[in-house]
DNA sequence: ATTTAAACGAGACGGTACGTCGCGTCTTTGT
DNA sequence: ACAAAGACGCGACGTACCGTCTCGTTTAAAT
């Protein structure tokens, strides 16, 4: 992820004392910790401040809302999407799908994401930051994987890549968070076949 | 939907003054109204009570939380899923997909659902009620549509219906609420083809 | 006490079902019970109703307020003021003083009276009922005891009886409820001497 | 009165923002204002907060109950007990009695005191604070006046001063708040004579 | 014996206030 | 010069009772 500061407020002027990076990181850690313990709804700025040994004002100095704080916390920790390019585009695509499953199935993705999205419904700025820092990079990586499959001929050249990305992520998101169906080991393969139109 | 009372508390014994059904319905209406205006986050029980001309205690008497109230409000109003059986299972399936698009694209589905889901992450009882009153009936109707297609031979007999349901709903949910891609008129057809594995 | 019904509302017309006297008495008993347990402030009509196995409406049908209920409950139970006339007016007066000490020192008098008085500060009707049903009869009996002492010559004929009554009851009330000085066995005698001006 | 903070909660550590004393005083003023208007029973914390332009939380931060608030308000305003020592102990005692009459006859003493006392029946901590901040200083001043009279020989050396204090204050309290007899101009003299045992 | 009207239990209702919590802002003070 | 500590105005929370109001269901006097 290029910009770790996600939705943080604009940078400070150059004079005077600089940001205390140790405290900064501690706040993000505490945020994730409490997210997993209490959920987004019960995650309070006061609790983060108390647990991180920081004053509330310090948090507000660097993030303008709970959603901005959570968005950055998620973005910094959910960055494990690197899938090597092996030369077998079909296998690479399968591996990428598996990464998505792991991401959404993990505690942070499963707990924080829905609440964050709910907050962003009425917050266009917040959504834009989320999109640029989180969504776009991931979709770009996934789209590249699909495009490599297209080049091998397993998918037609006029494939609607965007739609396949939505099917891919949507099916996983929905199964884990909404229908709460069990996640079988074969899920990645099943999805792979659906995406490739194999029957 | 069989049980309109969704997550409402258990019914009272038979003696004593009866529930004021007019007020009850008014509360649900007001809840939807405010959901569209203010969003789930800014929907307060106090505001619902004030707008519906009802006391807070009356709301808390019948619903044990905001999510229970919203769940019932959504369940009672999002019931427009009836798709006729025309004899052409493929066309019926397409029509069902279109209904899903319309549901999630509508204000209530789009605004309230994500927040509701976020609240239900840590509320197993609430999720169960949501599942039984909302999710299961819809999935059952959709599964029937897929099964009719299987009978025509357009899908193999060993098709994983549950997975197709997640792909179907998940793609739409994700596109509308997360990636926020435009909803083209051809979306239902495109999804239909993916579900049926047509290339 | 002539009228036990204190501040109860006016009686009903003659036809139809009559008052359930058993329940009536039970309500008064429960009121006293809860007064001693919880104090006036925490005595709620709902608790009385629940404990007495009676509906709130029944209580409100017969008493117009908590203070009316408590006033009647006190009046019916605090009536133990009969002091025999022995022929020794000085000894009779001492015995009467001792009764006052016992009344205010008892749980009901000590707990309920101050709160009741506080409620009556802004309730002229309530105060009038309290005065007629409680205060006047007691003062009359006490005044008679003083007048018998005057006849013996132990007090001058122009003694301000009303003031002595206030001194008598006030000193006891104040010592028990406000200054909370210990109540020694000799208190009645000490007060008797002060009232009679003996040094 | 030595400690103006009466029943307020214990003081905070030294760091951080300090108490807003202007608001603090305004709350006490408003409390007295509303006491005279509405009486203790109808004095609500919400009303005090609204009228004082202060949040409820601020009131609860510094006083733990309505009775604590009222106790401090009374203690800070009812301090007008200074009676000069003229060299004529009998006249000084009479003046002190008159001050007591004025205190209990005034709106605050008459309205708030009974209700406060009622609340303190079940609140030992509250009573102790009231005793130390209000009762003891006044009794001490009054006891000194009596002792000076004893020194002149108008009262015997073994006089029970505590009992005289209860007679003095109790008679006035009872006459004003309970028997509600008229307060004649000669009351102070009459009481003086009773206390001194003059007939 | 039947009628009839009030009393009654249960409890829903619109209210008011409670005492608490967290928000986001703002001093104040120690480092 | 920071930040921690934390007071503050604010608004909503969920609860407790208030006093009133239907509801059937007794119950006992008047027919």
pLDDT given at position D6: 42
Q: Is the CB of B47 under 7 A from strand F?
A: yes
pLDDT given at position D40: 87
With an 8 Å Cβ cutoff, is D192 touching chain C? no
Confidence of residue D110 (pLDDT cuts 50, 70, 90): confident
The whole-chain average pLDDT of chain C stands at 88
N-term to C-term CA, chain C:
36
Q: What residues of chain B lie within 8 A of the CB of A42, using their CB?
A: 122
pLDDT given at position B11: 53
Question: Strand E: which of residues 68-127 in chain A lie with Cβ below 7 A?
Answer: none
More confident residue, C81 or B3: C81
Q: Which of D119, D163, D195 sits opposite C190 (nearest CB)?
A: D163
- Which residue is nearest nucleotide F27, judged by alpha carbon to C1' distance? C17
CA D142-D146-D147 angle, 5° bins? 115
* Segments of chain B scoring below 50 in pLDDT: 1-6
Confidence of residue A128 (pLDDT cuts 50, 70, 90): confident
- pTM of the shown model: 0.85
With an 8 Å Cβ cutoff, is B127 touching chain A? yes
Q: Is the CB of D23 under 7 A from strand F?
A: yes
Q: Are C109 and C172 in contact (CB under 8 A)?
A: no
Report which of A196, A197, A93 is spatially closest to residue A141, judged by C-alpha positions. A93
Q: Is the CB of A58 under 7 A from strand E?
A: no
Q: What residues of chain C lie within 8 A of the CB of D127, using their CB?
A: 180
More confident residue, A123 or C194: C194
Confidence of residue C13 (pLDDT cuts 50, 70, 90): low
Minimum-distance nucleotide, CA of D20 to C1':
F7
Pairwise CA distance, residues C7 & D96, whole Å: 39
What are A37-49's pLDDT values in tens digits? 888 888 999 999 9
Q: What are phi and psi of D185, to 5 degrees?
A: -65, -25
Between CA B177 and C1' E25 the distance (Å) reads 34
Question: Strand F: which of residues 117-176 in chain D lie with Cβ below 7 A?
Answer: none
The whole-chain average pLDDT of chain D stands at 88
Confidence of residue D8 (pLDDT cuts 50, 70, 90): low
Among chain D residues, the shortest Cα distance to C127 is held by: D178
Question: What does the block give as tokens for B61?
Answer: 């008497």
CA distances from D148 to A19, A70, D141, D151, D154 (A): 71, 74, 11, 5, 9
- How much of chain A, in percent, has pLDDT values that exceed 70? 88
Among chain A residues, the shortest Cα distance to B108 is held by: A121
Q: What residues of chain C lie within 8 A of the CB of D155, using their CB?
A: 199
Pairwise CA distance, residues D38 & B47, whole Å: 30
More confident residue, D10 or C107: C107
What are B78-133's pLDDT values in tens digits? 655 678 899 999 999 999 999 999 988 887 777 788 888 888 888 888 888 889 88
pLDDT given at position B79: 58
Mutate to test the interface with B, among A118, A130, A135, A177 (most CBs of B within 10 A): A118
With an 8 Å Cβ cutoff, is D40 touching chain C? yes
Pairwise CA distance, residues C163 & C141, whole Å: 15
Question: What does the block give as tokens for A96?
Answer: 């990428």
- Pairwise CB contact (< 8 Å): C178 & D169: yes
pLDDT given at position D38: 86
Q: Is the CB of C21 under 7 A from strand F?
A: no
pLDDT given at position A80: 58
What are A3-12's pLDDT values in tens digits? 334 444 444 4
Query: How much helix, strand and coil, in percent to the nearest 5, is found in chain B?
Result: 70, 0, 30
- Pairwise CB contact (< 8 Å): B170 & A171: yes
Residue-wise DSSP of A126-137: HHHHHIIIIIHH
pLDDT given at position C81: 65
For residue B64, how far is the Cα from the chain centroid?
A: 20
* pLDDT at residue D4 tops 50: no
Which of A59-73, A122-136, D104-118 has the highest average model confidence (pLDDT)?
A59-73
Cβ atoms within 10 Å of D87's Cβ, excluding its own: 8
Question: What does the block give as tokens for B162?
Answer: 């549950």
pLDDT given at position D129: 84
Question: What does the block give as tokens for A132?
Answer: 């640029």
pLDDT given at position A63: 92
How does C60-92 read in b/e, with b if 16+ C-beta sit within 10 Å?
eebbeebbbbbbbbbbbbbeeeebeeeeebeeb
Over residues C12-34, the mean pLDDT reads 86
């Amino acid at each position: 992820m290029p910009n770790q500061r996600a939705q943080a407020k604009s940078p400070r002027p150059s004079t005077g004392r600089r940001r205390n990076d140790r405290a900064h990181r501690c706040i993000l850690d505490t945020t994730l910790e409490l997210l997993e313990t209490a959920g987004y709804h019960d995650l309070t700025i006061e609790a983060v401040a108390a647990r991180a040994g920081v004053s509330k004002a310090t948090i507000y100095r660097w993030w303008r809302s709970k959603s901005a704080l959570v968005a950055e916390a998620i973005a910094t920790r959910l960055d494990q999407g690197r899938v090597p390019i092996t030369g077998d585009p079909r296998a690479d695509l399968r591996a990428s799908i598996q990464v998505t499953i792991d991401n959404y199935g993990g505690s942070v993705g499963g707990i924080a994401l829905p609440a964050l999205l709910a907050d962003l419904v009425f917050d266009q700025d917040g959504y834009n930051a989320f999109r640029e820092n989180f969504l776009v990079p991931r979709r770009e990586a996934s789209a590249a994987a699909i495009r490599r499959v297209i080049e091998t001929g397993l998918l037609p050249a006029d494939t609607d890549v965007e739609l396949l990305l939505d099917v891919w992520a949507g099916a996983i998101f929905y199964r884990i968070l909404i229908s709460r169906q069990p996640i079988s080991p074969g899920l990645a393969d099943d999805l792979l076949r659906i995406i490739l139109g194999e029957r």
